[in-house]
Structure 1
Amino acid sequence: MTLSDQPDDLGFGIDSTATEVLAGIDLSGRFAIVTGGYSGLGLATTRALAAAGARVLVPARRTDVAREAVAGIAGVEVDELDLADLGSVRNFADRVLDAGRPIDILINNAGIMATPLTRVGEGWEAQFATNHLGHYALVNRLWPALTADGGARVVVVASGAGETPRINWDDVHFQNGYDKWAAYSQSKSANILFAAELDRLGRAAGVRALSVNPGYILTPLQRHLSKEEMVGAGWIDENGTALLPEFRAPEQGAATQVWAATSPRLADAGGGYCQACTVAKTFDGPADREAAERLWALSAELTGVDAFGKSE
């Protein structure tokens, strides 16, 4: 996908919407995959990409809910995917590859937050497994389709919680004491490091990757938090109304990930951490590089797949 002939973006920021970011950009003929693209930020992203002409595939664990959510949006398909189940990831990727469609945009948007202790797969902590390992395996299995035309972009939706990446290397799955926020922060740190390393590894094939902090948005991501917790944190009042001035609508939260996926300014860039429609930080120092490489090796070991080295 070559975006250098598209109009440049001017003046986008925290209040911009996904629709505004895509104004003047024609995505006709482009194929995008948006994990979790049927709820919250993902649904806003799906709508914006489809409105700009892209064909959008929405992988979903709850396919019936997803089909209802995207009904009436032209150019959108739904397929089954459970990111916490590596067999499901493999089966989904196989179906995509068998269809023979090159992928132009892959937005790793799905995620869970602050869940009660849950174990999946080989006893893995669910937030690390779903938010990171599932997406890691998905990208590596889809690598032939991402490189088929050259110039694909991978966007990994992180958060401010991982802005200073920290991985609990000695106990990545929290076998010795679980804290839901520490586990969430670790999974978002992994998202940032994964995007940085994927960009380093993939740029020779024309694939660029970026991570994104969408900002403060009230969406179903908060489903595991009680109203009392959110009131106590000062996020909402007793009626559920957002109190923090930083909160934005889903269409505004989706703007940065849509910008990262399509902006002509980023056609020859990647690896950075984006927020408010700008590259806010890069993770290319020695410590960041070491952590990103270590995370990649660990992820390859756990999932058994690595498009750039040993695989199952």
Structure 2
Amino acid sequence: MGGWTAADIPDLHGRRAIVTGANSGIGYHTALQLARRGAAVVLACRSAERGQAAYDRVTAAVPDGDVTLGSLDLADLGSVRAFAARHSGAPLDILVNNAGVMALPRRTTADGFEMQFGTNHLGHFALTGLLLPALLAASAPRVVTVTSGLAWMGRMRFDDLQGERRYWKWAAYGQAKLANLIFTKELARREPGLLSVAAHPGYAATNLQHAGPRMEGNKLMDRAVAFGNVLIAQPATAGALPSLYAATAPGVQNGACYGPRGLQTRGAPAKVVMPPQAAKPELGRRLWEVSESLTGVTYAAPANP
């Protein structure tokens, strides 16, 4: 098939990276490959048990690597602030906003936000803002925000962002993933000192697809997801390649999105087309203002010395 692979990742010694949701799936393989190429990597994980298991696997695979396990729950702004305070003391070269939830029955975060919008967008918005001084202290920082092809079905419902009046799990997921793209574009406009790029994995076999059916007790859908993951999806190792490309490859364009080329379901990473809504500056400004208001996080760059 050809194309860019993990073997093309440049040497990353001397660079520091944080990957959210690094305990499994795409996040795990993103963190593993960054560590293999010499980056100092923080595995930012919600579950201490699953995070420790991922840490053990990465350190076994890269015994001379510089790997740290960090506790981060993106559905709790207190946890986000605590994590950022612990990990903002040194320049940060790469932040991969990877963690997410998909198509859940309506739940709320610790701060009362709808879970998908709160975790996938607001948690990462807050984390990126709190880590911004560390990012801007690096020589060539990148922020990679992981979206989904289902962003194309998304619509920003500013009159009901939290799905309080009407909730459909797939519409809420599409909105959150579209918000990831709008955030990527707006961050690129506001912070020229870093590269803000998006990535989507195509259809990759991970645990993400199982969460919703299992929370609903829908065994038939859970089996259908397992069937699709085996017969149709590409492995998580391949699904991580767009994130790795966006995080490390030369020539990556600010504000662009990278995913599987062609039909965008599987294959080598390439620049891909975004939904037109993602590029609208008025949507970017509005989402930014709402996000600052909801999270209490503003993007204040450090003063020049």
TM-score range with shorter-chain normalisation?
0.7 to 0.9
The 5-angstrom pairing of residues 193-212 of structure 1 reads: 193-203=182-192, 205=193, 207-212=194-199
Q: 2:35 aligns with which of 35, 47, 50?
A: 50
Q: 2:244 aligns with which of 258, 262, 284?
A: 258
Query: What is the one-letter code of the residue matched to 2:259?
Result: Q
Alpha-carbon distance in 1 for matches of 2:11, 2:43: 20
2:196 corresponds to 1:213? no
Query: What is the one-letter code of the residue matched to 1:265?
Result: G
Alpha-carbon distance in 2 for matches of 1:84, 1:285: 26
The 5-angstrom pairing of residues 74-113 of structure 1 reads: 74-97=65-88, 100-113=89-102
Alpha-carbon distance in 2 for matches of 1:200, 1:258: 22
Alpha-carbon distance in 2 for matches of 1:163, 1:212: 14
- Residue 155 of structure 1 aligns to a residue whose secondary structure is strand
Aligned residues of 1:271 and 1:283 also touching (Cα < 8 A)? no
Q: What's 1:61 paired with?
A: 46
In the TM superposition, what whole-angstrom CA distance separates every residue of 1:203-241 from its partner, at most 9, and x where no partner exists?
1x2x01111111101211122224512555xx553xx76
Structure 2 unmatched ranges of 5 or more: 261-268
Alpha-carbon distance in 2 for matches of 1:182, 1:169: 13
Query: What is the one-letter code of the residue matched to 2:71?
Result: E
Report the TM-score, using the length of structure 2 for normalisation. Answer: 0.86
Aligned residues of 1:165 and 1:193 also touching (Cα < 8 A)? no
Report the TM-score, using the length of structure 1 for normalisation. Answer: 0.84
In the TM superposition, what whole-angstrom CA distance separates every residue of 1:251-284 from its partner, at most 9, and x where no partner exists?
1000010000001112xx2101211222212578
The offset of 1:305, in angstroms, is: 0.9
Alpha-carbon distance in 1 for matches of 2:229, 2:100: 23
Aligned residues of 2:90 and 2:134 also touching (Cα < 8 A)? yes
- Residue 56 of structure 1 aligns to a residue whose secondary structure is strand
Structure 1 unmatched ranges of 5 or more: 1-10
- Residue 124 of structure 1 aligns to a residue whose secondary structure is coil
Alpha-carbon distance in 2 for matches of 1:241, 1:148: 41
State the percentage of identical aligned residues: 41
The offset of 1:128, in angstroms, is: 0.3
- The 3 A distance-change label for structure 1 pair 177 and 296 is same
The 5-angstrom pairing of residues 266-281 of structure 1 reads: 266=252, 269-276=253-260, 277-281=269-273
Query: What is the one-letter code of the residue matched to 1:192?
Result: L
* Segment of structure 1 superposing worse, 190-199 or 272-281: 272-281
Query: What is the one-letter code of the residue matched to 1:77?
Result: T
- The 3 A distance-change label for structure 1 pair 29 and 123 is same
The offset of 1:70, in angstroms, is: 2.1
Q: 1:175 aligns with which of 161, 164, 178?
A: 164
Query: What is the one-letter code of the residue matched to 2:74?
Result: L
The offset of 1:157, in angstroms, is: 0.4
- Residue 73 of structure 2 aligns to a residue whose secondary structure is coil
Aligned residues of 2:76 and 2:111 also touching (Cα < 8 A)? no
Query: What is the one-letter code of the residue matched to 1:91?
Result: A
Superposition RMSD in Å: 2.2
- Residue 87 of structure 1 aligns to a residue whose secondary structure is helix
* Segment of structure 1 superposing worse, 68-77 or 124-133: 68-77
RCO (CA 8 Å, sep 6+): is it higher in 1 or 2?
1
2:278 corresponds to 1:289? no
* Segment of structure 1 superposing worse, 209-218 or 287-296: 287-296
